[in-house]
Amino acid sequence: MSLGPDLQQATIRLLEIHFEGYFMCRIATDPDPSNEHRGMSGYTMALPRETRLDQIIRLQVDEEFARKNARAPLHDLGKDIGVRVVDARFDGATYAPAAAALKDARVELLGKNQPFADGPVFESRNNIVGNDDAMAFVIQPFDLRIVGPGATITARDYLDPGEPAKQTWQFTDPAAYARRISTCQITGDTEVAQAVNVFDPYGYFRDRRRTLERLIERDRALLPGADPALRAKLEADIQSYQSRIYQLEFWGDRIISKIQMRVDWEFEINGPQVVDGALGGRVDVAQPWRIGFWFGGWDGDLLIGFARGTLGLPFLPS
C-alpha cells in the first residue's frame, strides 16, 4: 500500500519495533569448513544425540529442538531461547495500539541457503564471501517475520533486487552486497554485558568448567548401578562434558572473548514489506524500512547468543 498525496506531504516519522532475546546457532567454527556437521577442529561441536551443526540462525526453537540441544546449565541460567518484540515506540514513547498488537511477538528469520543450510546463516564461507577474523558476515537469506497477537509484519531483503535469487557466492564484487555485510564489531561491550548479565567473562567460563566437572562426578557416581543402556548414556554424557571442558581449555580466550562481543548490521530493506493486522495507524510499505540490530553475547559452549535490534516503519498514527 503506498501513501496517498496527503501522507506524502506529511513528515514521515517512524514506528520503532524493538526486539531482543536469545538465539541459538549451531554453527561450525574455524578451522572447520563452514559446512562441517560434527565439529572436529573448531571450538563448536555437535554432541551425541544433538542435532548436527546445521549453521542455522534460530531466533525461535520448538520444545523438541530445545530438549535435544539445550545443554546444561542453560535452563539453570534462566536463558530461554526466543527473540521477541519488547516495545513499539512512536515519537519517543510506547505507542499503545502497536505495542498491544505486537505484545511478545515472535521475531523469526525464515528461508534457506541451500546447499549450505536449510535456514539463514552467518555467511563468510571461511573468508570466501566475508571474513571470519573481521567478523564480516552476511546474514543470508534475510527474510524477517514478526508475529504478534494483533499483527504480522514481514520484510524480505535481497542481495541484488534485480536478481532476487542471486546468492552471495555468485557475486564477483563484495562491494555489491556491502550493505548487507556487518558494519562493525567490538568485544568487551557494556551493553552486551548487561544484556547477557555477564560482567566477568573469565569467571563465567570458570563456573562453566566447575559445573561440567560436577556433572561428571555426578554421572560417574551413577555408573556402578546402571544397566547397559543407562551406562552407555552416562558414559556418553561424561565424555560429552569432557569434550566441552577440552574445548574451553583448548581455545581459552577465543571462546571467552565472545561473551561480551557484538557484531552490528544496519540496512534499508529492499524487498517486499507487508503488514497484516492493525498497528494503530498506516505503515508506508513502499518506502524501504530501516533495520538495525546486533548479534552478540555469544556463548560458544552453549551455542547461544543474544540479539537486539530495531525495525523502523514509516508510520502515520490514526
Looking only at residues 93 through 152 of this chain, which bind another protein when binding is defined by CB under 8 A? 114-116, 125-136
Instruction: Select from 13, 18, 35, 51 the one that contacts another protein (CB under 8 A).
Output: 35
The verdict on 166 binding another protein (CB under 8 A) reads: no
Instruction: Select from 13, 171, 271, 292 the one that contacts another protein (CB under 8 A).
Output: 171
Binding mask 197-216 for another protein (x = CB under 8 A): --------------------
Q: What is the DSSP letter of 175?
A: G
Q: Which of residues 87 and 189 has its CB atom nearest to another protein in the complex?
A: 189
- Given a contact cutoff of 8 angstroms between Cβ atoms, the answer to whether 105 and 147 are in contact is yes
Instruction: Select from 73, 150, 164, 174 the one that contacts another protein (CB under 8 A).
Output: 174
- Give the shortest CB-228-to-another protein separation in angstroms: 11
CA of 268: how far to CAs of 58, 131, 169, 314, in Å?
22, 22, 22, 12
- Given a contact cutoff of 8 angstroms between Cβ atoms, the answer to whether 289 and 155 are in contact is yes
- Give the shortest CB-109-to-another protein separation in angstroms: 21
CA quadruple 269, 265, 108, 140: dihedral, nearest 10: 80
CA quadruple 198, 201, 203, 204: dihedral, nearest 10: 60
Q: Which of residues 222 and 316 has its CB atom nearest to another protein in the complex?
A: 222
Q: Which of residues 13 and 179 has its CB atom nearest to another protein in the complex?
A: 179
- Given a contact cutoff of 8 angstroms between Cβ atoms, the answer to whether 81 and 58 are in contact is yes
- Give the shortest CB-255-to-another protein separation in angstroms: 9
CA of 271: how far to CAs of 69, 154, 174, 178, in Å?
33, 10, 20, 16
Q: How far apart (Å, rounded) are the C-alpha atoms in residues 40 and 44?
A: 8
Judged by the rule CB under 8 A, the positions of this chain that interact with another protein are 30-35, 37-41, 45, 47-49, 114-116, 125-136, 167-175, 178, 181, 183-186, 188-192, 194, 232, 235-236, 238-240, 242-243, 246-247, 250-254, 262, 264
